[in-house]
Structure formats: structure tokens, C-alpha cells
Amino acid sequence: MSQSPSLKHKIVVTRNLGPDVMPILEGRTEIDLVVWPEDRACDREWLLRNATGAAALVIMVSDKIDAEVLDAAGPGLRAVSTMSVGYEHVDVQELAKRSIALGYTPDVLTEAVADVCIMLALMAGRNAKQTSALVNEGNWPQFSWAPFLSAAPNLVPPAPPGNAQQGSSALGV
């Protein structure tokens, strides 16, 4: 027995959530899924138009959620979930006044930020930008090699002889 369209919960998604998530949402018969069709930030006009009657909004950091969007959605809106660590783009006071739940993704970027920090430290420690430029400009291997061409300051002081172990702790975890 199929559900009447009026009994379906409308969920508005402002960006394609990828091949692991979209088939799950698309396969749910109890929801009316409305997805921004382009691979760029959602137009505000589209969001205002499609939010009407939504039970939930799944948004990105590029989507400003304020009284205008909440008014457009109407009294049936129960949840706003942002695919971001921060939620500065969401008027949380307006959500609270309307008893609308807020979902967000705390700590989702912790490991990625730690990875980028290590990557940047290694790149700085080996003059990666300058060395990459040699390759990208077609100057490798025709350049005049020098023994310290890619050398940069060490990340840590040299280890005492016979004790060359290095490590990092925490790394954002």
C-alpha cells in the first residue's frame, strides 16, 4: 500500500550528498525528497521556493538560514541539519523560538585538519612549493642542481647521534 503524497515528509537537500547517501534517501517511500540539481552552492531563491512545506532542511555552510527561510518553510519545519562543523550561517535563536532542532557535524574535520597541518609542515620543511614549481614549469631535471636546493629549516632540532626518532602527539585528536 503506497502512502499518499500528503503524508510524506518533505526533505529539502541543498547539495547532492554523494553516492553513499543519496540512494538511501531516494529509496525512502515516506519522504518527498527535493534536491538542488547543480554541483555548486544552492541559489537562495531556489531554497526559499522549495522550503515551503518542508519537514527538514539539509544544508551546507553556504546556505544562510534565517527568519525569511524559516517563514518560507512554514510551521511544519522540524529540523535543520548543516553538513558543517560551524553553524554561524544558521540563526539559532530563530530555530529555538520555533522549536526547530539543529543538527551539525562536530569533529568531522578534526582528522582532516590534523592531516593538513602535518602536510603543510612537511611542505614547508622541504621547500615543496619551490620544488614543485621546478617540475610544473618544465625545469626538472634541466635546472642547475645544488646540494641544498630543496633544503629548508628542520622541523625539529637535529637528534643526538644514534637517536633519530621523531614523533608527534595529539594531532587534533
Segments of 14-163 assigned E as strands: 31-35, 56-59, 79-82, 101-103
3-state secondary structure of 133: helix
Domain boundary among 45, 79, 103: 103
33 shares its domain with 83: yes
This prediction's pTM: 0.71
Q: What is the CATH number of the domain that holds 53?
A: 3.40.50.720
Containing structural domain, residue 54: 5-103
What the block records as the C-alpha cell of 19 is 553516492
Domain boundary among 59, 76, 103: 103
Say yes or no to pLDDT of 51 above 90. yes
Residue 92 CB: number of other CB atoms within 10 A? 13
CB 5 within 8 A of CB 32: yes
Q: What are phi and psi of 102, to 5 degrees?
A: -115, 130
What the block records as the C-alpha cell of 122 is 612537511
What the block records as the C-alpha cell of 157 is 632540532
Beta sheet of 79-82, edge-to-edge order: 31-35, 9-13, 56-59, 79-82, 101-103
One-letter amino acid of 151 = A
66 shares its domain with 147: no
19 shares its domain with 92: yes
Say yes or no to pLDDT of 156 above 80. no
Tally of domains within the chain: 2
For 70-122, the pLDDT digits (tens) are 999 999 999 999 999 999 999 999 999 999 999 999 988 899 999 999 899 88
For 61-70, the pLDDT digits (tens) are 999 999 999 9
For the chain, helix (H) and strand (E) counts, in that order, are 6, 5
Domain boundary among 68, 103, 138: 103
